[in-house]
Each structure stands twice: as structure tokens, then as C-alpha cells.
Chains A and B, each alone.
Chain A
């Protein structure tokens, strides 16, 4: 593909950890290494933080609750005029907007621009949630997207339900090699270590389900160790357990990228007990490519990634007794655990950046095939309407 100028817009605070941000960072860096020019417009909460050279700061985001977590989004006249300036100055061949239906920067950029625009939809929500319920207002804006990408079948059906429009499904990419080659850290590795990672204070991440399973698991496997990684306050969870069980659980706090890689590689079983609200489950694919056996709740997004239990074990959502049964079964049967992990590692190859980025590039290629470039839309160009 010929080298082009790509403008990407991030709806959420760039310096806050999150799936969309990680995805965009990896994609931008991959595209740059391929020789494309990439500029990312994103809100940044902390001005003093040094952001990557390709990131353009659009202002400080504000926090609003969305989908069980807090989203840091940015809108308003100032943000809108920054987006317009960025588009006008960028001379882009193509815009790639992430989550353009969330009231944030991507939406502003979409309304201000015209030409080849690709939109990626990450979220899957039930119809008529407040944030998506403004379909009629968004329709003229969302219809400007030349091509749509959904990160999962779920995100695609959300899009269909809300805007009556279809999308190409391209899952989130990961750097599989990084996880496969990570160092095993004895602090995290067995015998019988169970890993969990995420912002565990959010109920939908399901840590409570995992902790409830400990009592049963410890009865069968006394030396089991639950390792919980991620930012948050562990007191709430610890004080409900008796001291004997407390010693079987350890909170590690937030891990650096490198620690995360070796964490996923080192634990014997990785558990994702999320109770819902997930669209894809990138963490599963990361654990899979590290070659670790994965246990996950049977919510639709996880079932899809684990191929209905072929490449990872599923348990009944929110059922900690069932989770305990699955964990004990896997820890006792080394043969089965290794086989599952191996299947998982093979299946995760299709999420590798190499494969994913190529698919995204062909969408770009199709979107720019008309030969147009990105300009400010005619409503914003008073001096020339056409």
C-alpha cells in the first residue's frame, strides 16, 4: 500500500489506561513503522506528562460515568475548534476515528470533516442506554463514515441496532511475541497460582466472584495462590475473608507493561470473571498468547474469544461454585491444562498485529480509493461551499 497521511482521533484521555488507548497506540506505532505518517489527536489529563511525538493534545478531559466505569471524554467549543484546526492543518489522506458515537473528540472531528473517514466501534451496549440513545442527532454525523470497523461481532450488532448500519469486524490486535517471550517471574509463578488483572473495584470486573471461589478451591488445593493485579483499594475485599484464606490472596497493585507481560506468562491459570459489559476481551488474547491456560465467564464476548471453550475453559457467569470447580479441575490435570494453553496460543495468533494491521490497511486502501482527501466539511468552510 502506498504511504499516506493518517489522522487518528482518540475519544478518551490518552494518559488514562484503557483498551481503546492501548489499541490506538499500538496501531499508530505499527503504521509509523510501516512508513505512514500518523498524527493522533487526543485529550490529555495531565499537561506535565510527556506524550509521544505523534500525539496532539486537545485539552483536558472531563469524567462522566459510562457503562459501569468512568469515561474521561472531551467536548465543547474549544475542543471543537481545536479539532477543526488539526484537520485543516493536517492535510490528511484519511481520518481514523475511534468510538465516533461517544460524545467526545471523535464525534467532533467527524462532524467537522469530510472525505475518507474510517470509524472503529469498540463498545457493545444494549440498545437505548443514555449515551447511545441520541441516534437521530448522530445519524447525519455517523453516516459520513466511509467505512466502519467493529472490534467484535457484539460491537457490530450494537452498531446495527443503534444506527442501522453494518461494519467490517476486525478484532483488536496484540503483540503476541511480547507475551510469548516474556520472562517467567518466580514471584508470580506456581505452584498453583491463579492470576487476575484489572480495575477490580468495578463490580463488572467480577473480582468478587473470584474471591468467593477461594474458599472451595483452597479446600481441594491448600497451597493455591490468588494473585490480583491492578489499581484499587484491596481492604474491602480482604476484610470479608477469614485470616487463613487471606494468606492465600495477594494484591500486587498496578503493574508496569513489562511486569504485566511476565505476570500473564508466569501464572498457572488466568481467570477473567467479568460479569458483563465487555465487547471483546483483549486481556484474554494476551494471556492466551503468553501460553497460559485461561478461565473466563461465559459472557458472549469471552465465549467468542475462547471459541466456546475450545481454547480456554468457561464457567457459568457469576457462579463462583462453578468457577471453583473449573479451577480445581485445571490445576489437578496438568495434561489438560497444557493442552488448553497450547490450543489457546495457536488461536491467539490471529490477533497478532501483523495480521490485524494488514486488515485495517486494506480498509484504509478501500476508503481512499476514490482519490479524495480529508477537508473541513462544507458547513465549516464559509469561503467556499464546494
Chain B
């Protein structure tokens, strides 16, 4: 075997290895986006349910209660496109509850309040984790070799939600 064909063979093997490496890297990322979204989604659902419960069990004024109740319902019913803005509105209105609690103007079972602040910090973490997974996946998918060989297959491009960080 002459040198040229040896080099060519080596090159083919190398490219083959790199393709397989990239494919498993991308597969792992897709998987991660799915799980991180599932986690975030379930936390957000929980939060919406908690918001409804707070409305029922507290002495919030009717206007605030109405606002929280409608935004919780909106967040639950939102489709993929509206989801992030609906959740942000819910975050904003839940802040009213926390502020009212700080002013001692609120009668609310304390375990609900603890659960709310616990859930809020968890949602923050889950958003951070999810956004990172989305970011990394989109980053890898934009690479030339991945697009050239269609390594992403039919997996949908993960959506970049605009969760307003400071609103949470």
C-alpha cells in the first residue's frame, strides 16, 4: 500500500470517528434539553397550582386575587409560543404576594409562603439549567459539519425562551 492511500484511509477513519463523536455529543445534548424542560415544566405547573391555592386561602384584596388567579390560569393554558410571557406575568403577580407578606399585611398559612419561596428559587435554577442546555445544543447544531451531515436528524431545534430573569 502506498503512502497516499494510507493517508486517505487514515483521514476517512478520522472523519468517521469525529462524526460518530459529534453525533453522540449532540444526542446527549438533545436528551438533556428534553429532561431539563420536563423539570422546568413540572415546576412551573406546580407554581401555577400553588398560586391558585394562595388565592383561595389568603385574604388578598379582590383585585390582586383576580390578577393572580387569571395569570395562573393563563400560564397553565398557554401554548408553546405564549408560555414564557405568561409565566413572566405570573412571576410578576406572585411578587405582589411576597411583598404583601413582607409588609405583614397578609393572612396566609406560612407553609404556603415557604413553599412559594422554595419553588421560586427552584424555578430560577431550573431556568438556568434549561437555558444552558438549549444554548449548548443550538451552539453545536450551528456547526458546519453537523449541518452538512444532518447529524441532528429530525430532532426539533430547541426553543430559546425569553424568561425574564429578574422578573423571577
Spell out A's residues near B (CB within 8 Å): 114, 140, 143-144, 146-148, 164-168, 362-363, 365-367, 369-372, 377-379, 385
Contact A370 B38 (CB under 8 A): yes
Query: Is the CB of B35 closer than 8 A to any CB of chain A?
Result: yes
A-B residue pairs in contact (CB < 8 Å), sample of 19 = A114-B28, A140-B21, A143-B136, A146-B129, A146-B133, A147-B128, A164-B135, A165-B132, A165-B135, A165-B136, A166-B131, A168-B125, A365-B122, A366-B122, A366-B125, A370-B32, A370-B36, A371-B35, A378-B24
A164 to B138 CA separation, bound complex (whole angstroms): 13
Query: Is the CB of B39 closer than 8 A to any CB of chain A?
Result: yes
Known A166-B128, A378-B24; contact A143-B39, beta-carbon cutoff 8 A: no
User: Whole-angstrom distance from the CB of A135 to the nearest CB of chain B?
Assistant: 12
Query: Is the CB of B55 closer than 8 A to any CB of chain A?
Result: no
Chain B residues within an 8 Å CB radius of A366: 39, 122, 125-126, 129
Query: Is the CB of B147 closer than 8 A to any CB of chain A?
Result: no
A243 to B126 CA separation, bound complex (whole angstroms): 61
Chain A residues within an 8 Å CB radius of B135: 164-165
Given contacts A143-B29, A377-B24, 12 further A-B contacts (CB under 8 A): A143-B25, A143-B139, A146-B32, A146-B36, A147-B125, A148-B132, A166-B131, A166-B132, A366-B126, A370-B35, A378-B28, A385-B24
A365 to B118 CA separation, bound complex (whole angstroms): 12
Chain A residues within an 8 Å CB radius of B136: 143, 165
- The residue that A379 contacts in the complex, of B21, B29, B129, B132, with Cβ under 8 A, is B21
Chain A residues within an 8 Å CB radius of B125: 147, 168, 362-363, 366
Nearest first, the 3 A-B pairs at minimum CB distance are: A370-B35, A369-B39, A143-B136
Contact B24 A379 (CB under 8 A): yes
